[in-house]
Amino acid sequence: MPNIVIVGIQWGDEGKGKIVDLLAERADIIVRFQGGNNAGHTLVVDGKKIVLHLIPSGILHPGKLCIIGNGVVVDPEVLVEEIESLRGQGFFPDDAMLRVSSEAHLIMPYHKQLDQAREAAATVGKIGTTGRGIGPAYEDKASRVGIRMNDLTNTGLLKERIELALAEKNFLLTRYFNQSPADPGQVFDHLAALSEKIVRYIADTPALLSYRIARGASVMFEGAQGTLLDIDHGTFPYVTSSHTVAGCAATGAGIGPTAIDAVYGISKAYTTRVGEGPFPTEFFDETGKCLQEKGTEFGATTGRKRRCGWFDAVAAQRSVRVNSLTGVIITKLDVLSGLPTLRICTGYEIDGTLIDQFPSDIPTLERAVPRYIDLPGFTDDIRNARDYSDLPENARSYIEKLEELLAVPVTMISVGAERTQTIIRRHPLPA
């Protein structure tokens, strides 16, 4: 059975949660391979809205194994809250449905305190962080002072690692940010209480994945955020603190790259962005407000309004390249209904020169003036379309122009929030 990677190809919020939930019906294992609870997946199941931050969307399907990989940074408090919330809604009936990598790093209370203090102190160059402690947790991982899931099983070592981490963190908090220090004993007690609800899920997930793949299991790897927020390949420094691209699925889950058979990128039919940073096709008129309201463009994690703009094929082409996409999945096509003209950015003019490559530096990208092609819009309500032929001609022309520009087939099209509101042209996983 094939193993596939699902990534976002914009600045996140592309609707990955719904697509992963839909595809999970045919996968045996669903793995989250990077990021933390700064990302949220919003799903609508039988009219009920469900928001997940850490646990893969496959948890809504009985009999699936969901894995939080070693590339994820886990806030233990959020994880416990999410487990209890799912159970309260009638999901996740069996502990065997979830495993968390023993090598995954923890987001500690002092990570969140430091994250928020930094953003508050910044007078220029604000990143727009969610303040969830993601960046500081990844910093500790790289500095080799982080606390991992397997540390929860060793009380003495856990105390030592907390004290080691706080020797530096408290200096920064008190001397640089004028904040109160974190108390090592209180941090330990807080974590110890949470660990009682978590340790049952901790496992050597790379070994588990290797075993299951060797016996024919089909695995779907899901990332958080989007390609343009990748710490190397995104709009640095307005990025997240991990690798969001498909190549990270191997390292973030602990499998070899040859175990991956295909990569599918998810994109909205338009473009959105949350937080700071350049956004060449951004709307500053009523069209932006219209899409924001019609598309419910508010962050699942933070509630922040998403900035909206036309589809940016220049940015998307970069994502196609760095992810080696097999296919593209378009979401929220229904939100464009009613617009008389649909625009697609096919190039940038920078200092009088037209380019068709996405600039790698912020000053250049900030000077980019988008150049568009215009296509006729459509007015039909397409939320009941289930076959590609059900779409109006202008909607099909729009999709086909995206395929031409990206040089990758559009394999699925979402026309609404519900699972069933999806047109499947070619399913990534066999029945």
CATH code for position 274: 3.90.170.10
Q: What is the DSSP letter of 375?
A: E
| In a domain? residue 431 | no
Nearest CA to 67 out of 180, 212, 239, 169 is that of 212
137 or 124: which carries more pLDDT confidence?
A: 137
Indicate whether 48 and 142 sit together in one domain. no
Structural domains counted in the chain: 3
Decide: helix, strand or coil at residue 155. Answer: helix
Which residues are catalytic, by number?
13, 41
Q: Return d(Cα 349, Cα 373) in angstroms, integer.
A: 14
Residue 125 has pLDDT above 70, yes or no: no
Indicate whether 403 and 282 sit together in one domain. yes
Residue 40 has pLDDT above 90, yes or no: no
Mean pLDDT of 170-175: 92
Q: Return d(Cα 97, Cα 89) in angstroms, integer.
A: 16
Strand blocks (E) in 281-408: 307-309, 311-312, 327-331, 341-350, 353-355, 369-376
Residue 54 has pLDDT above 70, yes or no: yes
Indicate whether 309 and 408 sit together in one domain. yes
Residue 28 has pLDDT above 90, yes or no: yes
- Helix residue ranges, H only, 172-297: 184-195, 205-214, 248-253, 286-294
CATH code at position 66: 3.40.440.10
Indicate whether 238 and 358 sit together in one domain. no
Indicate whether 271 and 366 sit together in one domain. yes
Indicate whether 359 and 380 sit together in one domain. yes
Decide: helix, strand or coil at residue 263. Answer: strand
Q: Return d(Cα 264, Cα 424) in angstroms, integer.
A: 13
pLDDT tens, residue by residue, 265-299: 999 999 999 888 999 999 988 888 888 888 888 86
pLDDT band at 241 (very low <50, low <70, confident <90, very high): very high
Q: Which domain holds residue 124?
A: 105-195
And the tokens for 229? 């927020």
User: What pLDDT, on the 0 to 100 scale, is given for residue 237?
Assistant: 93
CATH code at position 149: 1.10.300.10
Residue 14 has pLDDT above 70, yes or no: yes
| In a domain? residue 429 | no
User: What pLDDT, on the 0 to 100 scale, is given for residue 327?
Assistant: 97
Q: Return d(Cα 246, Cα 6) in angstroms, integer.
A: 8
Indicate whether 184 and 110 sit together in one domain. yes
Decide: helix, strand or coil at residue 85. Answer: helix
User: What pLDDT, on the 0 to 100 scale, is given for residue 333?
Assistant: 97
Q: Return d(Cα 296, Cα 332) in angstroms, integer.
A: 10
Indicate whether 25 and 112 sit together in one domain. no
**Rounded to a whole number, what is the largest CA-CA distance in the chain?**
66
Indicate whether 14 and 141 sit together in one domain. no
Which of 242, 262, 282 is where one domain is finished? 262
Mean pLDDT of 240-256: 96
Phi, psi of 119, deg, nearest 5: -65, -40
pLDDT band at 121 (very low <50, low <70, confident <90, very high): confident
Instruction: Give the DSSP letter string of 5-61.
Output: EEEESSSS-SSHHHHHHHHGGG-SEEEE-SB-TT--EEEEETTEEEEESSS-GGGGS
Nearest CA to 375 out of 268, 269, 271 is that of 269
pTM of the model: 0.93
Indicate whether 153 and 274 sit together in one domain. no
Indicate whether 90 and 119 sit together in one domain. no
Residue 128 has pLDDT above 90, yes or no: no
